[in-house]
C-alpha cells in the first residue's frame, strides 16, 4: 500500500513538473518598438522586450490576462497582439490598450536594462 502511494505521488509530481515546463511563452507584439531592451514583471512573470516584441518565457497562471496586458501597455505602449496558444480578441486588446492610449501624452515609463 505504501509503495503504491509513493508511486502515485511520484507520478503526480512528474506530471505537474512536466506541465510547468511545457508552458508556452506569452508574447506581446507592440505597436511601436522599444528604444532599448526592457525588463519588467507583469502578470507574475518577467517580460523581456526587444524591438517590437515582449516575451514572458516562464509565464504564471495569471500572465495571460487582461491585467497583464494592461501592465505591458502601460509600460511600453499599445499592444497589437497578445497571446500564447491563442490570442486576445479585438475587444480584449482595446480594453488592454485603453490605459496606454490615455497615457500617450505622458509617454511610456520604461525600466531600462
Residue 50 near residue 34 (C-beta atoms within 8 A): yes
Give the pLDDT score at 109: 53
Q: Say if residue 5's pLDDT is above 60.
A: no
Here the cell at position 92 is 480584449
Give the pLDDT score at 10: 47
- pLDDT band at residue 19 using 50, 70 and 90 as cut-offs: very low
CA-to-CA dists, residue 76 to 1, 3, 16, 94, angstroms = 56, 53, 33, 16
Indicate the SS3 state at residue 75: helix
Give the pLDDT score at 21: 45
Amino acid at each position: 500500500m505504501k509503495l503504491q502511494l509513493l508511486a502515485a505521488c511520484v507520478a503526480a509530481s512528474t506530471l505537474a513538473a512536466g506541465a510547468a515546463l511545457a508552458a508556452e511563452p506569452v508574447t506581446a507584439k507592440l505597436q511601436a518598438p522599444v528604444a532599448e531592451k526592457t525588463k519588467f514583471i507583469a502578470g507574475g512573470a518577467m517580460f523581456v522586450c526587444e524591438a517590437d516584441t515582449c516575451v514572458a518565457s516562464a509565464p504564471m497562471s495569471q500572465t495571460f490576462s487582461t491585467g497583464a496586458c494592461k501592465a505591458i501597455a502601460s509600460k511600453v505602449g499599445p499592444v497589437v497582439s497578445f497571446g500564447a496558444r491563442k490570442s486576445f480578441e479585438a475587444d480584449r486588446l482595446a480594453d488592454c490598450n485603453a490605459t496606454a492610449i490615455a497615457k500617450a501624452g505622458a509617454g511610456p515609463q520604461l525600466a531600462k536594462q
